[in-house]
């Protein structure tokens, strides 16, 4: 499921947190789980594509009691269509922000997590490596990633649209992970002063503060940190609300006439929706960023066509590998059978050679020539015996005749 069909209220119900990712993967078996703020997708290698999809059942159970709503918007793709979708995601063509590069790292992390959990298969690994190559090629060979923005950038642009300009504004960043770092950097680039970075672990917040300024605070100190702030942008991977109505009410009670702009770009959501009920508090969620991102999508449509050509190329390579892999057991069995015949006939020829060379009667050179000749005839006869018998038994089968002719290059 993704932001295309599912609002954040549903996406957060099925989002898999880093803490539960390993156990979830093990419960699903052969699977890789890609979970971001805009999507939760489960890629599985199933022996029977027509069977019930465990990943789909998992998402429906996780969304209970709203599984009925989810059932109508879940999407399932198989085979080549599934690979193409993964490549589109990796290239950034399916992102809310077209061309954003953060998704590449998220796909790589998803594969690494599945590898550590022992839930990958050769097909899954090959597919994800192909998708990652698509993502790298798309950004190296096209301009799809040129001046690419991120969700964090879109959030800051949304804030700029509200305030007109951001220079001189003060902001609090909640969350000290990768998205929090991108947010802090983008704010500073727009002339915003980072007044505080709030995080459950203050030491992690301190790392961002050392680079972007402000002070590191725990989540309990958030009301005090917000007293002088104009903007709060929150991006944690916490399972519940970390910015509560009570915290915002406490902060705004001592600054009743100043507006406070809240942007929640986390899934599950960080900010209690009830905060929007407070006076002079304006709350925007990740789904509110779509308007800015749609404009970005239009600008990049031409580059998207070039990226799709790269996807066609890589998908073709994967399908060729898959066909080769499907016939590999037969090739191995054929070679093993040929090697068995070779070893048997070679052993017999060696015995005859030893006896010929030890014999004092006759011409040894002539005997060796005869033995080599017999060996070559025996190899050909033994190798062609079974195919010849099958052809004679099925002499009226044109498909078999054509297949043999093609395999042995008889029509060239």
By annotation, the residues acting in catalysis are 37
- CB neighbour list of residue 148: distance below 8 Å, 6 or more residues apart: 92, 97, 98, 99, 100, 101
Smallest CA-to-CA distance from 46 within 33, 28, 64 is with 28
Burial 149-184 (b: 16+ CB within 10 A, else e): bbbbbbbbbbbbeeeeebeebbbbbbbbbebbbbbb
Contact 159, 165 (CB under 8 A): no
Please tell me the total number of residues recorded for the chain in this structure: 412
* SS3 label, residue 196: strand
Q: Tokens 């944690």 appear where?
A: 236
279 phi-psi bin (left φ>0, alpha ψ -120 to 50, beta other)? beta
* SS3 label, residue 367: helix
241 phi-psi bin (left φ>0, alpha ψ -120 to 50, beta other)? beta
Separation between Cα atoms, residue 161 and residue 158, nearest integer Å: 5
Residue 182 token pair? 């991108």
Contact 282, 159 (CB under 8 A): no
Separation between Cα atoms, residue 86 and residue 104, nearest integer Å: 11
Strands (E) across 214-358 are located at 215-217, 231-234, 260-264, 281-285
Contact 107, 90 (CB under 8 A): yes
* SS3 label, residue 354: helix
Preceding omega of 65 cis (within 30 degrees of 0): yes
* SS3 label, residue 242: coil
């Amino acid at each position: 499921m993704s932001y295309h069909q599912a609002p954040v209220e549903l996406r957060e119900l099925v989002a898999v947190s880093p803490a539960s990712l390993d156990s979830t993967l093990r419960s699903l078996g052969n699977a890789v789980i890609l979970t971001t703020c805009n999507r939760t997708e489960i890629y599985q290698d199933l022996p029977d594509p027509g069977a019930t999809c465990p990943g789909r059942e998992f998402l429906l159970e996780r969304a209970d009691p709203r599984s009925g709503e989810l059932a109508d918007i879940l999407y399932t793709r198989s085979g080549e269509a599934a690979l193409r979708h993964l490549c589109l995601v990796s290239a950034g063509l399916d992102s809310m922000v077209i061309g954003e590069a953060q998704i590449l790292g998220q796909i790589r992390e998803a594969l690494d997590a599945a590898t550590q959990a022992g839930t990958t298969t050769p097909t899954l690994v090959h597919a994800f490596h192909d998708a990652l190559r698509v993502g790298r090629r798309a950004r190296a060979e096209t301009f799809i990633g040129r001046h690419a923005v991120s969700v964090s950038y879109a959030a800051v642009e949304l804030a700029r649209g509200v305030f007109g300009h951001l220079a001189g504004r003060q902001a609090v960043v909640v969350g000290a992970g990768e998205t929090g770092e991108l947010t802090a950097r983008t704010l500073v680039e727009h002339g915003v002063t980072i007044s505080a970075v709030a995080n459950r672990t203050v030491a992690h917040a301190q790392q961002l503060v050392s680079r972007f300024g402000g002070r590191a605070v725990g989540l309990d100190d958030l009301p005090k940190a917000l007293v002088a702030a104009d903007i709060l942008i929150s991006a944690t991977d916490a399972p519940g609300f970390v910015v509560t109505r009570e915290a915002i009410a406490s902060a705004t009670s001592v600054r009743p006439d100043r507006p406070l702009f809240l942007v929640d770009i986390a899934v599950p959501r960080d900010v209690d929706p009830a905060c929007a009920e407070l006076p002079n508090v304006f709350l925007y969620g990740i789904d509110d960023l779509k308007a800015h991102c749609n404009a970005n999508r239009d600008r990049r449509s031409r580059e998207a066509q070039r990226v799709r050509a790269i996807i066609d190329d890589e998908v073709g390579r994967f399908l060729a590998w898959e066909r080769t892999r499907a016939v590999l057991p037969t090739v191995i069995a054929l070679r093993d059978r040929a090697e068995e015949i070779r070893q048997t006939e070679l052993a017999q020829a060696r015995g005859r050679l030893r006896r010929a060379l030890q014999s004092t009667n006759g011409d040894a050179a002539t005997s060796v020539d005869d033995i080599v000749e017999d060996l070559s005839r025996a190899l050909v006869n033994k190798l062609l015996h079974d195919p010849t018998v099958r052809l004679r038994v099925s002499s009226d089968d044109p498909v078999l005749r054509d297949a043999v002719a093609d395999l042995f290059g008889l029509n060239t």
